[in-house]
């Protein structure tokens, strides 16, 4: 799947749409989800044009990958989640119901997140 530069996160990265930014580094941006599922629900995205973790893990540079992973940890610490705990989640493709085709890792905190996934029907 090619990268669609009209996706909503590409527009946020270009400053065409506002976001509630919590952190920025050379290769990453973190901002609050517009429809939060937890008291802390932040999206951490790479600044590069990567569709998903599949694309990013195959094609991003080592510098981008290192900066992105460090950004995730930094955001969690800056939001004071390291003691209470947090969950990170990235959806890729159809089965995971990925909605926005620009890699994003959800960072959830400040609630009990119960089990991993609902049991299969
Ligand atoms: P996905 O299902 O692709 O993993 O998650 C996409 C996420 O992006 C959803 O949690 C949704 O609420 C969030 N989202 C969609 N549009 C916007 C937007 O314009 N701004 C922000 N901050 N989040 C958005």
Domain that holds residue 37: 8-109
pLDDT band at 66 (very low <50, low <70, confident <90, very high): very high
On whether residue 47 sits in a domain, the answer given is: yes
- Whose CA is closest to 8, among 41, 33, 40, 36? 33
CB-based pocket (< 6 A), ligand 1: 8, 17, 19, 31-35, 91, 97-100
53: domain CATH number is 3.30.428.10
Average pLDDT score over the chain: 97
Give distance in angstroms: CA of 21 to centre of ligand 1. 14
Give the number of domains in the chain: 1
Q: SS3 helix, strand, coil % of the chain, rounded to 5?
A: 25, 20, 55
Q: pLDDT (tens digit, 9 = 90+) per residue, 23-42?
A: 999 999 999 999 999 999 99
In angstroms, the CA 48 to CA 37 distance is 26
On whether residue 1 sits in a domain, the answer given is: no
Are 79 and 114 a contacting pair, CB within 8 Å? no
Give distance in angstroms: CA of 106 to centre of ligand 1. 9
On whether residue 117 sits in a domain, the answer given is: no
Are 78 and 62 a contacting pair, CB within 8 Å? no
On whether residue 28 sits in a domain, the answer given is: yes
Question: Is 41 an active-site residue?
Answer: no
Give distance in angstroms: CA of 6 to centre of ligand 1. 14
């Amino acid at each position: 799947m090619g990268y669609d530069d009209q996706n909503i996160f590409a527009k946020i990265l270009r400053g065409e749409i506002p976001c509630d930014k919590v952190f920025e580094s050379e290769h990453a941006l973190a901002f609050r989800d517009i429809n939060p599922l937890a008291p802390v629900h932040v999206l951490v995205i790479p600044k590069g044009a990567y569709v998903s973790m599949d694309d990013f893990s195959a094609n991003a540079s080592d510098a981008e990958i290192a900066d992105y992973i460090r950004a995730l940890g930094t955001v969690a610490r800056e939001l004071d989640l390291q003691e209470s705990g947090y969950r990170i989640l990235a959806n890729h493709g159809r089965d995971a119901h990925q909605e926005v085709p620009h890699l994003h890792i959800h960072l959830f905190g400040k609630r009990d997140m119960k089990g991993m996934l609902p049991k299969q029907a």
